[in-house]
Amino acid sequence: MKRALISDIHANLEALSAVLADIRNQEIREIYCLGDIVGYGPNPCECLDQVIRHSQVTILGNHDQAALFDPDGFNPVALQAVYWTREQLEGRGDSSRIHKRWDYLGELPRTHNDGNSLYVHGSAREPTNEYVFPEDVYNQRKMDALFSRIDRYCFQGHTHIPGVFTTDREFHSPEEISYQYRLGTDCIMVNVGSVGQPRDNDPRACYVIQEDDVLTFRRVEYDVNVTADKIYAINDLDNMLGDRLKSGR
């Protein structure tokens, strides 16, 4: 079994294209996408079309949900991006294309369960909205509550910070584990990182390959300036959304 786990594309077509090419080069045919296809970035329709085409399992993210329904709890910059994204989804392409995109978003599940693996956008407790940050390992109550809901493995995104959380309340960043982790009998949570807006100070696109019991964190370079320039050219997308891509924050 060989599968790519991608998340938090955020309408970044250059990052997504680079990741899909990297996945293709390794002859991986199965892709799971853990949500936030749209929001923040300049190419929501194109990214959504790619995910519809290539992903076998796709989970609803909070930004996908915000584009569909009323956005709740978004800061002004994110909110403006949500409304701009909605306009694009409502107005780009012929009506069958538009319907296909909306239907796809509207039918996305919040969780997916594959035997011993759970797939969510946020957390096992609140699949769409809860953040699980590296520093949460110091919050024993939160960790216990999350792990009590996980059979064996939970794969998630949302924070844009990749790594592995263990039940002994440790967080391992990809660098600390040389980009590899072997799945065993212990419960773990895995954040697969973000394709289109990494926030761990590494601007390269991030995703995970699962090959049987081995997880590999991949970092893929792409031309960040192309995406940033597109963002700068769109009034409704704040310039800081382009700036942050360059620093990976």
Smallest distance, Zn ion to C-beta of residue 158, A: 6
Residue number, 143 or 192, with CB nearest to Zn ion: 192
Among 14, 22, 36, 136, binds Zn ion (CB under 5 A): 36
Residue number, 2 or 228, with CB nearest to Zn ion: 228
Spatial distance between the Cα atoms of 158 and 191, rounded to a whole number of angstroms:
8
Residues 126-165 that bind Zn ion (CB under 5 A): none
> Is 238 among the residues that bind Zn ion (CB under 5 A)?
no
H/E element, 85: helix 76-91
Neighbours of 171 (CB within 10 A): 19
The dihedral through the CA atoms of 80, 83, 194, 24 has a sign that is negative
Q: Which residue is nearest to Zn ion (CB)?
A: 36
Q: Contact region for Zn ion (CB under 5 A) — 31-39, 103-111, 161-169, 228-236?
A: 31-39
Residues 6-25 that bind Zn ion (CB under 5 A): 8
The dihedral through the CA atoms of 113, 116, 118, 124 has a sign that is positive
Residue whose tokens read 């893929």: 220
Q: Contact region for Zn ion (CB under 5 A) — 33-41, 73-81, 108-116, 162-170?
A: 33-41
Residues 6+ apart with CB under 8 A from 144: none
Residues in contact with Zn ion, counted by CB under 5 A, come to a total of 2
Angle between helices 224-232 and 239-247 (to 10 degrees): 170
Residue number, 72 or 213, with CB nearest to Zn ion: 72
Smallest distance, Zn ion to C-beta of residue 185, A: 31
Binding site for Zn ion (CB under 5 A): 8, 36
